[in-house]
């Protein structure tokens, strides 16, 4: 009953959109190499599956694991993927029959559908109008999902609370000298967050001590190298409650040289600047441009975007970057991660990242990561 | 020098293939949502990047993080992705100029390229013959990669040795009653494997106690539930050395009911049967069919494939399943994971999985996972 209250209204918004676009059926696919959290957003189903939505306002889920689907999924119908030899095309043809679509109906598949695979869809669904386009179902879902509903904010608050607890615990352990290596830090986050009820981590925890913090995303993600010693260390992680992930980065600073202090000060100032510009109605590119300009003034370039929305995915709408194709505007209900950072092969790297809910007139900080000076 | 000895010969085989197919340039892309380990296989570059290979036998790498690329990548040329606003099309056009491709040249992009994105390639590379096909570069790479070279086997032996150590340590901890929850088991694997030098885990470690082992892949991957108590518990993990992952599953059995014993016996027998049929020259579908038939005789159905190749990816060629489109044949130098399993909503699930090198006349077990009876 509770699940239905969450997922059915989301599907209704897609059905409305389908009716407006005269789309008879939408197919979504969540598979290895092409993950799609839209199926979880629309039904609660967390794993591999196909989802078919009919403009007649019915949903058909085709999961890999029916046992899991029976527990998690809110959908009108379930059919096992194994019944179709785990082949999307077979399942799709069956869904067309199941919903009784008349020939000529519009069927939309996701824009990430590979070109050769789409050609096979066209052939197999001869007589139907099969669409695969950038301007269709995917951006509609991205737009809807960029503004979080009450159930989603509840999950964020849960994830943010544990994230803050873990940050405090990490700082304490660091000050006590109990975290010595990158493995110590990452293993603590990964196990302790689950012990505190998290579903998992939103992405592989990144722990980079002074010898490896020069990389945006250290490779490997963590290792036996020293963490929190002299220089700059970076810790980037996200904790998940009921699917929704935080995304925070803290920098640990100890015994910095003057150039390292300057690098860190630039990042801290950029962070404050960025947060001060975020308001409903502001183009996200403007916030990114302000930070880029501040770094440029100091002769520095940030090698990644300033931020991004978070949710069921660690990166979702809105994008926060200065690029011609970025048309996002901050709006109430969006939840974003802001993460200015600078990286130098010799000095190391530093990044500060927290998550913010966009409110009616500004931002509310959900997480409280920080620079930890030892 | 050592890196060049590994990666350049691999690229040479692709250049030969390109010459035979009259392909002037191949583009590969490793990006979020569309990971491609072929770039690591061909250059050693482990993270986000584009790779352009010219039939003139030159490679151009366009990495997101140039600092990492300078350490890891063996390539003729490097250009920062940021120089092209991190847009594949811009980078691709530049590569065409860089290699001086004459108009009309054949350029191949991966078959996972989304349909709308491919249309943009066609438009931007007007005057060139742009290919995106199932029968091209991707299966060629998959075929080459399915037979491992000496450097790859060295990495597998390293990963397998740590995997076996961890299995022994897990059994000891279980018998001592020191692993009580799924988190205990997964946290031990994740941290201890890195302490023993592994680069990471090949996929999220799955630990499912008796209450959750009914799922093929438990969701969440691990939790605070009890592990190793009465019934069937499953532990599925892979450890990585220099990119190459093992993939093993062990089942922990305690105080089983008769139907649970029968389920477990079916899986153990299927495992023995499967391994006995693997020989060079045998179609992998035949091995899968033998297991399917054995399960069917007992009125059971395995809801997933019998196995798969492993390597830089946890799933790569050869596929080991009974399906019309499976034409793989076991050959010397292949490394495969064999993983029969059965799952019941009431009894729980069991799976036994180990990794094998195909030799001249059969198999060599690389890992030694097992049923642990407490």
Residues A196 and A213 in one domain: yes
Residue A162 binned pLDDT confidence (cut-offs 50, 70, 90): very high
Q: Is A211 helix (H, G, I), strand (E, B) or coil?
A: coil
Q: Enter the tokens of residue A235.
A: 């810790």
With the CA atoms of A26, A30, A35 and A37 taken in that order, what torsion angle do they form, in degrees rounded to the nearest 10?
70
Asked if B254 and B226 count as a contact pair (C-beta separation under 8 A), the reply is: no
> What b/e string do you get for A30-64 counting C-beta neighbours within 10 Å, with b at 16 or more?
beeebbbbbbbbbbbbbbbbbbbbbbeebbbbbbb
Tens-place pLDDT, residues B255-288: 999 999 999 999 999 999 999 999 999 999 999 9
Nearest to B254, CA basis, from B244, B264, B245: B264
For B:184-213, CB contacts with A below 8 A are: 186-187, 190-191, 194-195, 197, 199-200, 204
What does the mean pLDDT of chain B come to?
Answer: 96
User: Alpha-carbon distance B321 to B339, whole Å?
Assistant: 11
Query: How much is the pLDDT for A47?
Result: 86
Query: How much is the pLDDT for B333?
Result: 98
Query: How much is the pLDDT for B128?
Result: 98
Residues with Cβ within 8 Å of residue A116, at least 6 apart in sequence: B111, B132, B133, B134
Tens-place pLDDT, residues A292-310: 999 999 999 999 999 999 9
Instruction: Tell how strand B206-208 and strand B200-201 pair up.
Output: unpaired
B194–A223 CB contact, under 8 Å = yes
Q: Is B10 helix (H, G, I), strand (E, B) or coil?
A: helix
What does the mean pLDDT of chain A come to?
Answer: 96
Residues B229 and B117 in one domain: no
B345 touching A (Cβ < 8 Å): yes
Tell me the chain B residues in contact with residue A234 when contact means C-beta distances shorter than 8 Å. Answer: none
Instruction: Provide the CATH number for the domain around residue A281.
Output: 3.90.230.10
3-state secondary structure A259-301: HHHHHHHHHHHHHHHHHHHCCCCCEHHHHHHHHHHHHHHCCCC
Cis peptide bond N-terminal to B158, omega within 30: no
Residues B318 and B179 in one domain: yes
A67 touching B (Cβ < 8 Å): yes
Nearest to A319, CA basis, from A306, A333, A331: A306
Residue B1 binned pLDDT confidence (cut-offs 50, 70, 90): very low
Q: What is the domain range of residue B184?
A: 147-373
Residues B228 and B135 in one domain: no
pLDDT at residue B323 is higher than 90: no
Shortest distance between the Cα of A301 and any Cα of chain B, in A, equals 10
Residue A1 binned pLDDT confidence (cut-offs 50, 70, 90): very low
B194–A224 CB contact, under 8 Å = yes
Residues A162 and A206 in one domain: yes
**Between B2 and B159, the higher pLDDT residue:** B159
B47–A219 CB contact, under 8 Å = yes
Can you tell me the ipTM of this complex? 0.93
Q: What is the pTM of this model?
A: 0.95
Residues with Cβ within 8 Å of residue A158, at least 6 apart in sequence: A197, A241, A242, A244
For A:27-56, CB contacts with B below 8 A are: 32-35, 46-47
Tell me the chain B residues in contact with residue A72 when contact means C-beta distances shorter than 8 Å. Answer: 219
DSSP B155-186: HHHHHHHHHHHHHHHHHHHHHTT---BHHHHH
Asked if B214 and A67 count as a contact pair (C-beta separation under 8 A), the reply is: yes
Tens-place pLDDT, residues B79-122: 999 899 888 999 999 999 999 999 999 999 999 999 999 999 99
Q: Is B137 helix (H, G, I), strand (E, B) or coil?
A: helix
Tell me the chain B residues in contact with residue A187 when contact means C-beta distances shorter than 8 Å. Answer: 187, 190-191, 194
Of B96, B117, B144, the residue at which a domain comes to its end is B144
Tell me the chain B residues in contact with residue A214 when contact means C-beta distances shorter than 8 Å. Answer: 67
Residues A176 and A112 in one domain: no
Residues A92 and A21 in one domain: yes
B159-172 mean pLDDT: 98
B85–A323 CB contact, under 8 Å = yes
Instruction: Provide the CATH number for the domain around residue A30.
Output: 3.40.350.10
For B:303-332, CB contacts with A below 8 A are: 303-304, 315, 323-324
pLDDT at residue B3 is higher than 70: no
- Nearest-5° Cα angle at B232, B229 to B233: 75
Residue A2 binned pLDDT confidence (cut-offs 50, 70, 90): very low
Residues B63 and B23 in one domain: yes
Of A144, A161, A180, the residue at which a domain comes to its end is A144
Query: How much is the pLDDT for B89?
Result: 94
pLDDT at residue B4 is higher than 70: no
User: Alpha-carbon distance A111 to A133, whole Å?
Assistant: 5
Residue B301's closest chain A neighbor by CA?
A: A82
User: Alpha-carbon distance A350 to A340, whole Å?
Assistant: 9
Residues B355 and B211 in one domain: yes
Query: How much is the pLDDT for A85?
Result: 84
Residues B175 and B271 in one domain: yes
With the CA atoms of A169, A173, A175 and A181 taken in that order, what torsion angle do they form, in degrees rounded to the nearest 10?
-130
A104-108 mean pLDDT: 98
Domain count for chain A, please give it.
2
Of A111, A186, A303, nearest to B116 by CB-CB distance is A111
Where does chain B have alpha helices with state H? 2-21, 38-43, 66-72, 88-98, 115-124, 137-146, 150-175, 182-195, 258-277, 284-297
Residue B133's closest chain A neighbor by CA?
A: A116
Nearest to B236, CA basis, from B278, B186, B188: B186
Residues A131 and A215 in one domain: no
Residue A189's closest chain B neighbor by CA?
A: B187
Residues A270 and A310 in one domain: yes
- Hey, CA dihedral for A81, A84, A85, A89, is it positive or negative? negative
Of B144, B178, B199, the residue at which a domain comes to its end is B144
Shortest distance between the Cα of A45 and any Cα of chain B, in A, equals 10
B3 touching A (Cβ < 8 Å): no
A295 touching B (Cβ < 8 Å): no
């Amino acid at each position: 009953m509770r699940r239905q209250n969450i997922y059915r209204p989301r599907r209704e918004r897609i059905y409305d959109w389908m009716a407006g676009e005269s789309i008879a059926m939408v197919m979504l696919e969540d598979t290895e190499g092409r993950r799609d959290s839209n199926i979880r957003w629309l039904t609660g189903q967390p794993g591999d599956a196909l989802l078919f939505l009919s403009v007649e306002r019915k949903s058909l889920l085709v999961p890999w694991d029916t046992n899991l689907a029976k527990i998690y999924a809110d959908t009108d119908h379930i059919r096992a993927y194994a019944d179709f030899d785990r082949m999307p095309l077979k399942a799709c043809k069956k869904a067309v029959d199941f919903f009784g679509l008349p020939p000529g109906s519009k069927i939309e598949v996701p824009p990430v559908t590979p070109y050769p695979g789409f050609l096979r869809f066209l052939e197999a669904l001869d007589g139907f109008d099969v669409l695969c386009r950038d301007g269709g179902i995917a951006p509609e879902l991205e737009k809807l999902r960029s503004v979080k509903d009450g159930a989603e904010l509840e999950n964020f608050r849960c994830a943010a609370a544990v994230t803050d607890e873990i940050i405090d615990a990490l700082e304490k352990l660091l000050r006590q000298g109990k975290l010595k290596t990158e493995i110590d830090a990452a293993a603590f986050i990964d196990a302790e967050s689950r012990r505190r009820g998290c579903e998992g981590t939103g992405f592989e925890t990144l722990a980079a001590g002074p010898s490896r913090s020069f990389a945006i995303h250290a490779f490997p993600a963590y290792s036996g190298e020293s963490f929190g010693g002299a220089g700059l260390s970076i810790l980037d992680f996200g904790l998940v409650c009921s699917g929704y992930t935080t995304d925070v980065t803290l920098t640990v600073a100890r015994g910095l040289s003057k150039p390292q202090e300057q690098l860190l000060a630039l990042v801290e100032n950029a962070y404050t600047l960025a947060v001060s510009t975020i308001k409903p109605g502001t183009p996200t590119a403007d916030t990114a441009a302000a930070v880029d300009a501040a770094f440029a003034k100091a002769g520095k370039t940030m090698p990644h975007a300033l931020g991004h929305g978070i949710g069921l995915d660690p990166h979702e709408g809105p994008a926060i970057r200065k690029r011609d194709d970025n048309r996002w505007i901050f709006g109430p209900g969006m939840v974003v991660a802001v993460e200015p950072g600078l990286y130098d092969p010799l000095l190391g790297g530093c990044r500060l990242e927290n998550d913010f809910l966009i409110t009616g007139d500004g931002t509310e900080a959900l997480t409280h990561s920080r620079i930890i000076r030892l």
